[in-house]
Structure 1
């Protein structure tokens, strides 16, 4: 199977590190022009430098997509894209009873409304051209709501509702809308979270991550954390021409953590 994005413009939000950066790199390798996004110009410039590639294959936008103003600025700078990957997101452990309303709002605006605003802006152009891909990066936490991150799970479940409903709304247009649900993934954020255990035990980051999965995601069949590249592979595939009959789906890259048959 040869996946080719030559002539396609791809926007990956939150793509200066982790799953987003791995996804941007995979799209560049497949021939796409990729728009990288991060909150600061420094992080965007660093990602562009690491991506490399021929001139014209990558560009960047620095801005906070948790705000309507930030989304509007991005849309003004890049009015049309062929593939939209709504990856930007935040997470964090916090007890339900300690969460102020402002944290619920911050998570909702970042994880949900950023994707809603961008999809609303870019989908009409995709529909007019008769081809497009919108991918929401959700999480297995959308199905297995974590007791210590209820606010996070809530936003990831909301993404599933939006992606499924929007797929129906765009029926017959040539635009597909799907959600990808990573499980425990050894992203930059997770690596940072596990560093204290790496230093305490002297074990490798991969071993510590596998122990974390065993302790906190005991239903995992993979028995390790996924790599960001493994998640990126699914995102690139579902965005490709080869996945043209897949829409309205919630595609799990969770290592079997979610114990469902479908």
Structure 2
């Protein structure tokens, strides 16, 4: 299968690093004009340069905007009034005991992980429907289904994303606009890699041993038995954004290494 997204404009939020950066790169390889987004102009510019270097002749643009706020989302839509593909990737996580999570943290997680996708979908989906083609993908997590007791507030936001994506897909019934979620599993992005390296140092292990032990201890149902790479998550996202994925709609697509212990 050759995925060709030439002529399509794709916005990936939170794409200066990690899974978002891998998605941006994958969409660029497929020929889309990719808009890289992050809060810092310097990081956005650096990401654009890095992708351009690894994907020659790619069409790239960077827009710095803080999508955790209504004002930031409004500014992003103003700078980019139209997009054919929207990947709602921006998000945060933090292990924290439930009884130590104050109201403000619940609100902060909801604003960043949920409302950013709500606001941007509201900004871009009407144009997609008018043109009768579009792709919206929410980067959710296996934590949407297997709520992690060490970060219940994070799990709540990932579940909310599934509800929103399914509802939006139903709004697009009978059109060529699709809305899906991708359930990512534990992924060795930059932040997680730093965490794993520190675990390895503390326990006198190699990074590989520390990573494998973490997955076995905290995600024992994993069939992959390791962290996924950002590129492995990005591969499924790029497919969901493709013309070839026209019959995939309203779905929670799994790239979580078999952690979710169900056949459906």
Task: Give the alignment's TM-score, normalised by structure 2.
Answer: 0.96
Counterpart in 2 of 1:227?
229
Counterpart in 2 of 1:32?
32
* 1:41-83 Cα shifts (integer Å, max 9, x gaps): 1111110111114567111111210100000000000000000
Matched, 1:21 2:17: no
Gaps of 5+ in 1: none
Give the Cα–Cα distance (whole angstroms) in 2 for the partners of residues 54 and 258 of structure 1.
Answer: 38
Cα gap change, 1:261/1:56 in structure 2, threshold over 3 Å: closer, same or farther? Answer: closer
Deviation, structure 1 residue 251: 0.5
Contact in 2 for aligned 1:206/1:225 (Cα 8 Å): no
Give the Cα–Cα distance (whole angstroms) in 2 for the partners of residues 198 and 18 of structure 1.
Answer: 21
Match of residue 207, structure 2, among 205, 208, 232 = 205
| Map 1:59-98 → 2, pairs under 5 A | 59-98=61-100
Gaps of 5+ in 2: none
Give the Cα–Cα distance (whole angstroms) in 1 for the partners of residues 13 and 247 of structure 2.
Answer: 24
Contact in 1 for aligned 2:31/2:58 (Cα 8 Å): no
Counterpart in 1 of 2:164?
162
Give the Cα–Cα distance (whole angstroms) in 2 for the partners of residues 206 and 244 of structure 1.
Answer: 38
* 1:101-159 Cα shifts (integer Å, max 9, x gaps): 10000000000000000001100100111100000000000000000100000000000
Matched, 1:237 2:239: yes
Return structure 1 stretches of 4+ with deviation > 6 angstroms: none
Deviation, structure 1 residue 201: 4.4
Please give the root-mean-square deviation of Cα atoms over the aligned residues, in Å. Answer: 1.2
Matched, 1:249 2:251: yes
Contact in 1 for aligned 2:137/2:182 (Cα 8 Å): yes
Give the Cα–Cα distance (whole angstroms) in 2 for the partners of residues 191 and 116 of structure 1.
Answer: 30
Counterpart in 2 of 1:11?
11
Counterpart in 2 of 1:153?
155
How many equivalent residue pairs?
262
